[in-house]
Chains A and B, each alone.
Chain A
Amino acid sequence: MSSLFLQLFLLLNVFLIGVLATVAVRHAYAHFRPPLHEAYKTHPAKQVVHLPPEVREHLLEAAQANFQNVLDHSARELQHDLETTSTQLNKQLEKIGSAIVGNEMERYQMELEQLRKQAEAAIGGAQIGITEHQTELKAKLAEEMVAEQQRLVQQIDTKLADSVASFLTEILQHNIDLGAQTPYLLAMLEAHKTDLKKEVTGEA
């Protein structure tokens, strides 16, 4: 039994070796005769086709239809690819644009923050300066107000003194000298002598 199998196996191997040898010979022949092969390709031998015109027409229409289908299919695929590419490009552009805008915005925000800090520092310095200036102005104003107040008080005192003196001079005229009133008293008595005499005479 085993020998039978062995024999069958050996026969099969021989057959296969023969097939392989044949293939190798053919390939070798084809390898060593390429010009003949190229010439054969370039100038194929005219085949004489003996087909009826209807079949030929039918085949031509079928071929045209197939070709048209292939073209349409290719066009659709191309359009689909173009659309996909366009979408992807748009997405990529959007992504890139977003990234650029984000970067720009971040940079802008950083610069803005830096400027804000600089402005805050400047404003803080200015505020301190303003506060100091205000303090100085307040102190100066207080001093000036005190000085002005004193000046006004002095002016009022002077004016009042002048006014009182003028008023007394105007009202009392030359009789204002309190140390020498005798002439004034006698003048008053003289001016009203008649009235006094009348009163005394009436009383007496």
Chain B
Amino acid sequence: MKLKLDDSVSSPQDLKSMIIEIREYARWFGHNSIKKRLDARHSSEPPALSPGASAVLREWNTKAPLSQKSLDGLLSTLEKYHVSAPQLTITLSAPPANGLKKTLVAWCRDNIAPDVLVTFQFNATLLGGMVVRCGSHIFDWSFRRQLLANREQFPKVLRRV
């Protein structure tokens, strides 16, 4: 069964955090099921979930009703997802805002692979643009790279000015 992660869950670290949240939720769900079965009066509150984890649970619930078994299946699916999902690393010249992150992740999942995980890094020496590492391949679209590649044009520009 395939999962569609929320764009806020972009990197393997986000996915790992979400797995831990859902595991906690599954543990709570199991305890709460036993209490309901024993007709216990006191029931504990469910653990707080991130929007991404809530979205995954909602999506998973539409496919199969929530039970201890389905939650274990979800966790198993997420673990497989974490292991097998393709990964991209995008390095920007500054820490990216959430909007930019979501935009880039949405584009990658729409155009490259729906299950791709994107890790964001930043390096101020890039000056601008980005560097995309995909497996062993690196695409350098940074401003620094462009400036260095065209540095022989600087004397021409200097003479022209």
Contact = CB atoms under 8 A, between A and B. Distances in A.
A178 B86 contact: no
A1 to B, nearest CB: 161
Nearest to A204: B86
Contacts, number: 95
Contact of B103 (A160, A182, A197, A200): A182
A190 B130 CA distance: 13
B137 A197 contact: no
Interface in A166-192: 166-168, 170-172, 175-176, 178, 181-182, 184-186, 188-190, 192
Nearest to B100: A182
Given A171-B147, A200-B86, A200-B116, A189 B157 contact: no
Nearest to B94: A178
A166 B113 contact: no
A103 interface: no
11 contacts: A167-B153, A167-B154, A171-B147, A182-B100, A184-B129, A189-B111, A192-B132, A196-B139, A197-B113, A203-B134, A204-B86
Given A192-B139, A203-B86, 16 more contacts: A160-B158, A163-B157, A166-B161, A178-B93, A178-B127, A181-B129, A185-B129, A188-B139, A190-B111, A193-B112, A196-B88, A196-B139, A197-B111, A200-B86, A200-B112, A200-B134
Interface of B: 84-88, 92-93, 100, 103-104, 107-108, 111-113, 116, 127-130, 132, 134-135, 137, 139, 141, 143, 146-147, 150, 153-154, 157-158, 160-161
